[in-house]
Structure 1
Amino acid sequence: MAEVFKKDGTWTVRTSYYDHDHNRHYTGKGGFRTKRSAEAYGVELEKTKKDGGVMADRNITFVEYFRTWYETFRKPKVSDATAARYQYSLNVITKYFGSTLFRKITTTEYQKFLNWYGLGDKDSDTKPHAKETVSKINVHIRAAVRNAVNDHTIPSDFTLNAHIVYDNSHARPIHYLSYEEAAKFYQYTLNHLYNTFGYDVVRYMAITALLTGMRGQEVAGLTWADVDYDNGIVDVSKSWNWKKREFGPTKNPQSMRKIVVDRNLLNIFKKLQYDQGIMLKNKGIDNPKNLMFLSRYNRVPSSKALNDGVSDLLKGAGINEELTFHGLRHTHASILLYQKMSISYIARRLGHKNVSTTIKTYLHIIKELETEENSKVLDIMTSLGKGADWADFDVKQKAATDR
């Protein structure tokens, strides 16, 4: 039991616990004005011990716990881009919660945080944020909190029943090309694979993204060993880290996948491989990483170069759309959706973590297709009754006649 005693006019509570190495430690708190309040705190301490909680974690702040959790469970296996998003979440948590003790946060306080971040707060110079941004931080926090509950660091999950709040005006719409525009873009790019300096590697990368739905960093990280010409497969097993100029992991384990590609794309790859070999020989340079998309500057084009290249191709093709390189991935997905491919297949092909990610990302397209399907269902059901005497029976008119 916790020890309660009076010291210097106030009450103090103290208890002992053993760490994982069986070393004994003491923890407690003083300054209670009444013996009853000290005893209540003592009961709380004993409950933490009984539930298997780590006593040393009782005074840990939310910020400290989240940082430790991230460095232990997430940092060793995520890409630099994902790590940056976790760091951003940590910065937001630090700004709002500061030195708040982890165990002191309630569901109400957490909901206030979501409101503050989602809708913005002029007093703290916090701007409103879109649904996707708020959802991402909420996902990060929920994972850390659930781990803390499992370890008995905190007594309950304060994220339960909380809901995200966001500013609709900050929503970022998904931009993609229609089927006709995609065909126009593809054909124009095929006819303009060369510029005044020779083959343009960015244009080869644009075609690859359009026909596979791969992310920009996945396209950039392809090597010639990743292409199986015999079976028509591209093996996605890594990505390209533009900052470090080296290979990195895929966005998530599900992103490691094999994508079936058509014979035309394989022939395009063979053409690129031939042109690249001539370029390397003429310039007297090597390709030690066996990169597919090595530019004449002996490096992989940057993310900005890819976006600029797509913009130039759109203008050249006479397509009046604002589209980033990532928009080619969205275009690929939209084409598959409109062609009635299953959501589960599209999710696997895109390397999404789960089907819900695909549905959430392309919900507007799915709803549009459902509207078309509803019309088809009505036509089908109506056609079943053709030829019957009651097929065009007007219920309202008959009811009026009966009266």
Structure 2
Amino acid sequence: MSRKKYSTKLFYKYYLDWIHLYKENAIRPVTLNKYYLVQRTLKEIAPDLHMNELDRKSYQNLLNIYALTHEKTTTLDFHHHLKASLFDAVDDGIIKMDPTRRAIVKGTATKKKRPKFLNLYELQTLLRSLKLGSELNWDWFILLVAKTGLRFAEALALTPEDFDYEKQCLIINKSWNYKEKTGHFQPTKNPSSNRTVMVDWQIMQQFKQMIENKDQKKPIFFEEEQRIYNSTLNQRLASYCKKAGIPPISIHGLRHTHASLLLYEGVSVASVAKRLGHSNTTTTQETYIHIIQELENKDNDKILHHLSQL
């Protein structure tokens, strides 16, 4: 019986071929670029690693090298990108076993990060400082993100026809590619991101008055030929936070704030996941695990109190 020969191809070359085969034209350009970044890094730190040399030890060594200069969360992301390709390599008979099994993810000390979200009092303070006139401006954009939890690109893509006044909701079915020089509409991050988001009656009426004479199919916050920078709006938001004496957060931080406050109010994880456009509740649970654990502790107190009454 002849012994099976496994691939002797260089790992970084296999990974590049895998990206071409499975990822090109299947995911958004910004996501695809992350895979290419991982491939370039792989070539840099393991230029001589062949597929037939991949085992738990060589793979762990690869992760350890990467972890020397990256935080644990970044190393984990690097690991997940590689892991997907190696699963396929095992299935296709290119390598004998899964080298990522029981891999230990390490990393450098985590830097102190800015707060990702505000508490209710801080958010109320921020919103009171906004300059909300009778005409649409970027402060209205900040308010809308705070009240809906929309992604930055989703909020940019809003057009008048996305406002359903009868059902009191926003229809999210596209996003705005602001990262390219010539911005344009593009699909949402994933199929689950196509959704409707309930909004309070007051803000729906306020927007109705401001956008009723605008082109139904064009963005409401800017002209299509205008270049939009995330950093510009983050700076605007940070300046408001500073003046209000609250921790500075980003536009994306408003999305985290929105979700966090809903969870604290007792809204289910499933409902929050659907509102945010997450593909599954696991993403929501992992992102807001600290809040969920805090709520579970409160629930345990309620359970024990109830049991003591029986």
**TM-score, normalized by the shorter chain, greater than 0.5:** yes
Structure ranking higher on relative contact order (CA contacts 8 Å, 6+ apart): 2
Match of 1:353 in 2: 279
SS in 2 for 1:169: coil
Instruction: Tell me the CA shift for residue 152 of structure 1.
Output: 1.8
Match of 1:163 in 2: 104
1:380/1:288 CA distance change after superposition, 3 Å:
closer
1:243 aligns with 2:243: no
Instruction: Tell me the CA shift for residue 174 of structure 1.
Output: 5.1
1:146 pairs with one of 80, 83, 87: 87
Letter in 1 for 2:201: R
1:375 pairs with one of 295, 301, 308: 301
Aligned counterparts of 2:136 and 2:216: Cα–Cα separation in 1? 20
Aligned counterparts of 1:173 and 1:309: Cα–Cα separation in 2? 16
Q: Is the 8 A contact 2:278 2:284 kept in 1?
A: yes
Letter in 1 for 2:70: P
1:289/1:334 CA distance change after superposition, 3 Å:
same
Aligned counterparts of 1:238 and 1:310: Cα–Cα separation in 2? 24
SS in 2 for 1:368: helix
Match of 2:148 in 1: 212
SS in 1 for 2:256: helix
1:101/1:298 CA distance change after superposition, 3 Å:
closer
Instruction: Tell me the CA shift for residue 289 of structure 1.
Output: 5.5
Between Structure 1 and Structure 2, the one with more strand by share is 1
Match of 2:159 in 1: 223
Q: How does 1:328-343 map to 2 (within 5 A)?
A: 328-343=254-269
RMSD of aligned residue pairs (Cα, Å): 2.4
Q: How does 1:188-199 map to 2 (within 5 A)?
A: 188-189=129-130, 192-194=131-133, 199=135
1:112 pairs with one of 61, 67, 72: 61
Match of 2:228 in 1: 301
1:291 pairs with one of 219, 227, 231: 219
Gaps in structure 1 of 5+ consecutive residues: 2-41, 49-57, 121-126, 278-286, 385-403
1:73 pairs with one of 5, 19, 22: 22
Aligned counterparts of 2:112 and 2:101: Cα–Cα separation in 1? 25
Q: Is the 8 A contact 2:160 2:217 kept in 1?
A: no
Could you give the per-residue CA deviations for residues 360-398 of structure 1, whole angstroms, max 9, x where no partner exists?
1111111222222233333333344xxxxxxxxxxxxxx
State, as a whole percentage, how many aligned pairs show the same letter: 29
Match of 1:13 in 2: none
Could you give the per-residue CA deviations for residues 262-289 of structure 1, whole angstroms, max 9, x where no partner exists?
2123123213315x74xxxxxxxxx695
1:77/1:223 CA distance change after superposition, 3 Å:
farther
Instruction: Tell me the CA shift for residue 314 of structure 1.
Output: 2.2
Q: Is the 8 A contact 2:115 2:249 kept in 1?
A: no
Segment drifting more, 375-384 vs 300-309: 375-384
Instruction: Tell me the CA shift for residue 253 of structure 1.
Output: 2.5
Match of 2:205 in 1: 267
What TM-score, normalized to structure 2? 0.89
Aligned counterparts of 2:201 and 2:289: Cα–Cα separation in 1? 31
What TM-score, normalized to structure 1? 0.70
1:231/1:288 CA distance change after superposition, 3 Å:
closer
Letter in 2 for 1:339: E
